[in-house]
Structure 1
């Protein structure tokens, strides 16, 4: 595996931090998940669902393949055990607020004294500097709302809406993995680790970077448009006779205009004075979309798909999660990985979006039970059996 020999200590909860460590683990790193008593909040993600559903696929997504231990850093013995574990690590990743880590002596400046090769990764809502650096942040607040993603995503005149779980977190996880790998590469040359940091806010700004670059340069930005009034009338969503949606994305501003009309069975639209030029099509967008809506509403989806493919146009069906799960191209692209279910079988889980032909992880171990490997890991870093029992008796480990 690519990262074999890299040891990662994760002192994080929720999604972004565990997600980053899971990717490193999928790529071969050894990941030790350190939880406080009570465990990562995401362990309870399915606590209130119907009883016939077993398992926690959301937790498994970001924690498969890790070993799990429990330490209480509010107790000196627990804090010391975590610091000792960090001495053996290549990477220490946390999303605990920096002020709390500093009080506990678990900040970068403290840990690097004993392990100068340590790559110390911090994930925050808003960064490590600035007037709001101390504020807590989730993906819906720091990434979605404050970074402008919600505003730029909702069409003009519509209310903002909530994002799906983990969207900003998982994007930040990818950014964090990139930062960690860059720091590990630097360490190979210098022998020194470093502090790296990512934030939900900065990730959101980058994700919307194409739009925000315009705002930053010109001081203004066009709003998102509704489906029936797009900037380009053939760059939008249409519905077939059997109620299936698809989206078309033309190559260039007017690329494929005539061909798209042929596909819709309306070649006459090309000569219609209302739509004869790019400018006139933009001025009469609603009318053109209405004409194309009526055309595609008369065609079954399979025929629409056949025509679009035959014309080599850029399009895709709008799929439900069930469609995605059953899509053979999703599996072929490497977007899924199998996870052991603890009962001799496996179940599919989303994979990290990168492939390494010949070195892909095809089956990953399950996520750890709370404190499953505490005794084992403590023994590995030098604790004797009697010392481990004292940690448990004091409530510093579980």
Structure 2
């Protein structure tokens, strides 16, 4: 694997930072996950339904293939062990709030002298500077709401809605992985590591950056509209006779106008004076949407897909999660990876979104049981069996 030999110490919970460590692990890094007694909160996300489900896919996705070590940093021995692990790591990745890290002597300034080559990666809600830097943040607060994503996504006049689990977190995971790899490249040139920092807020701003750039440049931005009055009547969601939804996204200008009318079975719309130009089509967007709605609603799904493909239009079905899971193109694109179940079988899970032709994609080892590797990892950094036993007895390790 590409990152074989790279040592990552993850001291983090929830999704954004563990997701970044998970990507690095998928690409070959050795990831040691430090957990407090009781474990990462995401271990318990399906706790109420444990007897029913018997698995925790949300945790499993971001933590497959890692090694779990339980250390209690409220105790001196636990803090010392975390520092020793960081002292031998290439990357120390955390989303613990900076003030707590400083109190424990696990901030970048404290760890740097023992390991000048360390990449210290810190994921926060709101960054390290400013009046709200100290605040806790989740993706629904810092990424979705504070960064404007929720408002820009909600159609005008509608109430804001919550995002799905880990949406902003996983985008931040990608940003964090990119930052870490950039710092590793710099270290190759300088021989020294550095602090890298990402935040849910900054990732949210970048995610809606194309629109926000308009706001920043012109001081205003058009609101998102309902599908009945789209900004571009050709870029919209439509429904077939048999109830299947799909979306079209035409190329710029009037390139796809004629092809779209023919695919809908309404080439006569090209001669309709209401739609004679791109400007008029935007002015009469509600009327044109109604025409397309009626046209596509009269056609079966198989006929619509045939016409759209023959016209080489840019379109896609609106799929349910079950349909995504069964879509052969999802598998062909490398979007899924098999995870071992420890009993000779495996299950599919979302993959890190990059392929390296010639490098095997999987299968990946199962996520670790809580503290499954505490003794092994502590022994690797020089703790004797007696010292490990004493730490467990003192409650500093488990």
With 354-363 and 213-222 compared, the bigger mean Cα shift is at 354-363
Moved beyond 3 Å, runs of 4+: none
Q: Distance between the aligned counterparts of 1:361 and 1:272, measured in 2?
A: 53
1:381 is the counterpart of 2:395: no
Q: Which residue of the partner structure matches residue 312 of structure 1?
A: 312
Q: Which residue of the partner structure matches residue 214 of structure 1?
A: 214
Q: Distance between the aligned counterparts of 1:376 and 1:228, measured in 2?
A: 60
3-state SS in 1 of match to 2:370: coil
Q: Which residue of the partner structure matches residue 286 of structure 2?
A: 286
Q: Distance between the aligned counterparts of 2:367 and 2:179, measured in 1?
A: 24
1:204 is the counterpart of 2:204: yes
1:33 is the counterpart of 2:33: yes
3-state SS in 1 of match to 2:144: helix
Alignment of 1:197-346 (within 5 A): 197-346=197-346
3-state SS in 2 of match to 1:339: strand
Deviations 1:234-273 (A, max 9, x none): 1100000000000000000322111111110111111111
3-state SS in 2 of match to 1:265: coil
Q: Which residue of the partner structure matches residue 119 of structure 2?
A: 119
Q: Which residue of the partner structure matches residue 355 of structure 1?
A: 355
Q: Which residue of the partner structure matches residue 10 of structure 1?
A: 10
Aligned-residue offset at 1:72: 0.1
3-state SS in 2 of match to 1:261: helix
TM-score between the two structures when normalised by the length of structure 1 = 0.99
Where does structure 1 lack aligned partners over 5 or more consecutive residues?
A: none
1:74 is the counterpart of 2:84: no
What is the count of residue pairs matched by the alignment?
398
Q: Which residue of the partner structure matches residue 42 of structure 2?
A: 42
Q: Which residue of the partner structure matches residue 177 of structure 1?
A: 177
Alignment of 1:186-205 (within 5 A): 186-205=186-205
Q: Distance between the aligned counterparts of 2:214 and 2:354, measured in 1?
A: 30
Q: Does structure 2 conserve the Cα–Cα contact (< 8 Å) formed by 1:339 and 1:364?
A: yes
Q: Distance between the aligned counterparts of 2:276 and 2:200, measured in 1?
A: 45
Where does structure 2 lack aligned partners over 5 or more consecutive residues?
A: none
Q: Does structure 2 conserve the Cα–Cα contact (< 8 Å) formed by 1:232 and 1:253?
A: no
Deviations 1:341-389 (A, max 9, x none): 1221000000010000111322000000000000000011000011000
RMSD: 0.8
Q: Does structure 2 conserve the Cα–Cα contact (< 8 Å) formed by 1:14 and 1:42?
A: yes
Q: Distance between the aligned counterparts of 1:207 and 1:182, measured in 2?
A: 20
Q: Distance between the aligned counterparts of 2:207 and 2:360, measured in 1?
A: 27
Q: Distance between the aligned counterparts of 1:360 and 1:335, measured in 2?
A: 13
Q: Distance between the aligned counterparts of 2:179 and 2:366, measured in 1?
A: 26
3-state SS in 1 of match to 2:53: coil
Q: Which residue of the partner structure matches residue 132 of structure 1?
A: 132
3-state SS in 2 of match to 1:363: coil
Q: Distance between the aligned counterparts of 2:145 and 2:254, measured in 1?
A: 33
Q: Distance between the aligned counterparts of 2:279 and 2:217, measured in 1?
A: 25
Q: Distance between the aligned counterparts of 1:65 and 1:197, measured in 2?
A: 24
Aligned-residue offset at 1:53: 1.4
With 75-84 and 270-279 compared, the bigger mean Cα shift is at 270-279
Q: Which residue of the partner structure matches residue 22 of structure 1?
A: 22
Q: Which residue of the partner structure matches residue 143 of structure 1?
A: 143
Q: Distance between the aligned counterparts of 1:144 and 1:385, measured in 2?
A: 47
